[in-house]
Structure 1
């Protein structure tokens, strides 16, 4: 059984996409809100895109869930379509320690591993 408080904080993951690099910063607050910021860079390190999602999150037993409420892309904010199923996600927690969070999307089976960081260590 995992405790909700274990997820509160700032998490990071990076991925090599071949011709691009991808990075995510996930900030999960104690009051159940989240900000996920996704960065895409070219191989020279130039920022190609930055998208931030805002919403609500929770953890029940080993199920982590998110509900996206809005998104900022190119300095424009968009409200999420609450009728769109793509704004609701559920994940099975595979590992959650003070330093690492691994989870699997219940529908797609995609697995993700994030490392805990502090805001002063923000890699982006």
Structure 2
């Protein structure tokens, strides 16, 4: 992802499910790894960007680029102040590795939320919601 422009981050939203760490029909949860540490991932079709918790970023000493005025609108109506952006966060899924640009937020739910910007890079996605 290129350096984010102010306009690109102007509408940044985190769904209530992602904020609270709750499952819903629009989310999928699984385990991934960052620097060998297991993390809980929530794929959320109602969040705009990808987010990680401060409590994940700091112990792993991940470099955070500050965006001092960046706020994220949460699904419960509040706004959260982002600590900044981690560029090229290495994430290992069960059989796949990737790097992600993620915003750092004071979350309490999942360790990593993958939003619509990440989903849009996948192309068509088929998901059996009964299973």
TM-score where L is the length of structure 1: 0.31
TM-score where L is the length of structure 2: 0.30
Q: Which has the higher contact order (CA 8 A, sep 6+)?
A: 2
Q: Which structure's residues are more often helix, by fraction?
A: 2
Q: Which structure's residues are more often strand, by fraction?
A: 1
